[in-house]
């Protein structure tokens, strides 16, 4: 499904979509929306979110997350924190030199987003819209339509009717991605090293490259707040993407120096893993990943034997927890 200029299109070809997107591009680039326009739209949007008949497909947790993100005060604070007060005014920093400085929109930003964070595409576009960019989203192939629903609902709260020209969802095949990139001033892409490198190779000259690669992800547990429900949810997060995504923790920190507390929570987490692991399709590690796992387990066991480390290995069918008291 394509979403262009505030409307859904189910039968466009990539070439037809590009023609629609570029028809008024020069005009839009010359008249970017002011931050106040986006903030006012966000304010009306979160008021609508109070009505559960508005975007009924949005679950309670997602609804609350979207509501918090789109708070005008929060968006304004983010803008001022990153770009300063009144960032788009032209200022003379040093009156002894004939130089003026000010922020300006980058232009057309193509967002290539992942499958493992459903709200991320919407949040990324709102942030980019706030600074006046034109935003073309190329979503994951597994996108189920939530992003289009959110964006359509958001821009319908714009009384100026300007924002519709600055947001589009263009689900082109990977092999046709160059059609979008040709017109881009910046490309913001999420993914692994291989996927990011494949996109980077297609960048036109002068295009800003904004990669978001894999990062270390962790969970932090407060012992007095841990319960069965939270541990089952943590096990689901770990197993869902096999620790290959920023939303799938690779490390779990327990906020306690008590070995008994660590052992208790470790055992309860192991039970949660035993109960939830079979619900998810496991990712078979390649040779390098398997070697890394073997090395980590071996070092933990050697530390326990030769250095007296308070380590333990909790393992089941297809999963393992290396418990370390550090």
Residue 116 sits at φ, ψ, to 5 deg, of -95, 10
Q: Where are the domains of the chain?
A: 2-212, 218-324
pLDDT score, position 86:
73
Mean pLDDT, all residues of the chain: 88
CA gap 110, 186 in Å, rounded: 6
pLDDT band, very low/low/confident/very high, at 50 (cuts 50, 70, 90)? very high
Map the chain to HEC letters.
CEEECCEEECCCCHHHHHHHHHHCHHHHHHCCCCHHHHHHHHHHHHHHHCCCCCCCCCCHHHHHHHHHHCCHHHHHHHHHHHHCCCCCCCECCCCCCCCCECCCCCCEEEEECCCCCCCHHHHHHHHHHHCCCEEEEECCCCCCCHHHHHHHHHHCCCCCCCHHHHEEECCCCHHHCHHHHCCCCEEEEECCHHHHHHHHCCCCCCCEEEEECCCCCEEEECHHHCCHHHHHHHHHHHHHCCCCCCCCCCEEEECCCCHHHHHHHHHHHHHHHHHHHHHCCCCCCCHHHHHHHHHHHHHHHHHHHHCCCCEEEEEECCEEEEEECC
The pLDDT tens digits of the residues spanning 260-295 come to: 999 999 999 999 999 999 888 777 888 888 898 899
pLDDT value at 45 more than 80? yes
pTM of the entire predicted model: 0.74
Question: 46 and 160 in contact (C-beta within 8 Å)?
Answer: no
pLDDT value at 87 more than 80? no
pLDDT band, very low/low/confident/very high, at 40 (cuts 50, 70, 90)? very high
Write the CATH number of the domain with boundaries 2-212. 3.40.605.10
pLDDT band, very low/low/confident/very high, at 114 (cuts 50, 70, 90)? confident
The pLDDT tens digits of the residues spanning 74-85 come to: 999 998 888 877
Mean pLDDT of 228-239: 91
The pLDDT tens digits of the residues spanning 139-170 come to: 987 777 899 999 999 999 999 999 999 999 99
Mean pLDDT of 117-137: 93
pLDDT band, very low/low/confident/very high, at 122 (cuts 50, 70, 90)? very high
């Amino acid at each position: 499904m394509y979403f262009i200029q505030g409307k859904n299109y189910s039968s466009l070809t990539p070439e037809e979509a590009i023609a629609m997107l570029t028809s008024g591009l020069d005009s839009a680039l010359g008249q970017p929306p002011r931050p106040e326009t986006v903030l006012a739209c966000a304010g009306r949007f979160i008021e609508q979110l109070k009505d559960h008949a508005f975007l009924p497909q949005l679950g309670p947790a997602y609804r609350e997350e979207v509501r918090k993100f789109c708070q005008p005060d929060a968006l304004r604070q983010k803008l001022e924190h990153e770009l300063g007060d009144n960032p788009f005014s032209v200022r003379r920093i040093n009156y002894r030199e004939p130089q003026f400085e000010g922020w300006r929109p980058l232009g057309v930003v193509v967002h290539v987003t992942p499958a493992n964070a459903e709200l991320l595409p919407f949040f990324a576009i709102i942030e980019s819209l706030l600074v006046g960019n034109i935003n073309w989203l190329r979503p994951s192939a597994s996108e189920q339509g939530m992003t289009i629903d959110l964006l359509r609902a958001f821009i319908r709260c714009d009384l100026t009717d300007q924002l519709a020209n600055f947001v589009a969802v263009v689900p082109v095949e990977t092999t046709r991605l160059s059609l979008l990139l040709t017109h881009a001033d910046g490309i913001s892409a999420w993914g692994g090293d291989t996927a990011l490198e494949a996109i980077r190779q297609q960048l036109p000259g002068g295009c800003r490259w904004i990669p978001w690669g894999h990062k270390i992800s962790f969970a932090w547990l407060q012992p007095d707040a841990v319960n069965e429900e939270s541990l089952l949810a943590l096990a689901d997060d770990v197993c869902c993407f096999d620790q290959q995504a920023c939303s799938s923790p690779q490390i779990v920190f327990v906020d306690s120096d008590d070995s008994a507390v660590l052992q208790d929570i470790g055992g309860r987490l192991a039970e949660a893993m035993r109960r939830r692991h079979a619900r998810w399709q496991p990712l078979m590690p390649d040779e390098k990943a398997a070697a890394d796992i073997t090395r980590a387990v071996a070092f933990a066991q050697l530390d326990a034997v030769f250095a007296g480390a308070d380590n333990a290995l909790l393992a089941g069918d297809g999963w393992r927890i290396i418990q370390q008291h550090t």
